[in-house]
Amino acid sequence: MLISPRHSEILKLIRRHGRVTVDDLVDRFSVSSQTIRKDLEALSRRNQVMRFHGGAMLPSGVVNLEYEKRRQLAHAEKDTIGRAVAELIPDNASVFLNVGTTTEAVGNHLRGHKNLMVIADNVNVANVLRVNPGLEVIIAGGVVRSSDGAIVGEAAVDFVRQFKVDYAIIGVSAIDRDGSLMDFDFREVKVAQAIMANARNIVLAADSTKFERTAPVRIAGIEEVDFFVTDHCGNEEVRKICENCDIRLIETQI
């Protein structure tokens, strides 16, 4: 089926930002809200987007998006989150970084630090950081997942358990309404759980589109983290959990 130029442009916007709203599209294309809703319905019927009240986003469910596409989703937001997380990490510290495009953004902003020990469970972050002489980069052993360079499996879990670090920086695929942190691969989740169990401080780095996505495997509850860094927390239940559990919530767009 041929796709109209406007539909194509809407898809590009969603891939770039992770989500779009009807109001934004009305302003951008100078058409009625009814026209935009029809566009989104047409794209939804083709399974190219997932509708939510007032807008649309890329579909999610039991299969994660390709890594390169995830890099482009909410790219600017991930960069500001990465900078804010890096500012929390002092020099002369030890850090776990788990797999993910947001944690990769954190890695980009850690390159100016000094005397850091960084333990990564993915080859992308290790490759970003390895050229900095002020950082000692340690990479977990195990099976390398071809889709995104994650190192998964029991060998990776056993490797992680050898350490006790100052900070664990965790990315997730989705945040459920009750604050559950979710992902797609149970093997990756096992590694993330080991990382959290062996850190003194846990930093969750996740952009706001994660509130609108779903994934099938639970990592932990948000009440188990010490810091939550996001562009915007629009989930009031999660915001209340942060307040009640003394989690430091950092919103980079405020």
Q: Could you give the domains of the chain?
A: 5-57 (1.10.10.10), 67-251 (3.40.50.1360)
- Per-residue model confidence as pLDDT tens digits over 182-233: 998 888 899 999 999 999 999 999 999 899 888 889 999 999 999 999 999 9
At 34-55, the pLDDT tens digits run 999 999 999 888 878 888 888 8
Cα separation of 16 and 18, whole Å?
A: 6
How far is it, in rounded angstroms, from Cα 195 to Cα 29?
46
Quick one: pLDDT at residue 63? 41
Terminal alpha carbon distance of the chain:
42
Residue 161, SS3?
Answer: coil
Interatomic CA distance for residues 136 and 129, integer angstroms: 9
Find the DSSP H helices in the chain: 5-17, 22-29, 33-45, 67-72, 75-88, 101-110, 123-129, 154-160, 186-197, 236-244
pLDDT of residue 33: 93
* 133-152: pLDDT as tens digits: 889 999 988 888 777 778 88
pTM here is 0.74
pLDDT band at 170 (very low <50, low <70, confident <90, very high): very high
CB 42 within 8 A of CB 2: no
Cα gap 39→21, rounded to integer Å? 12
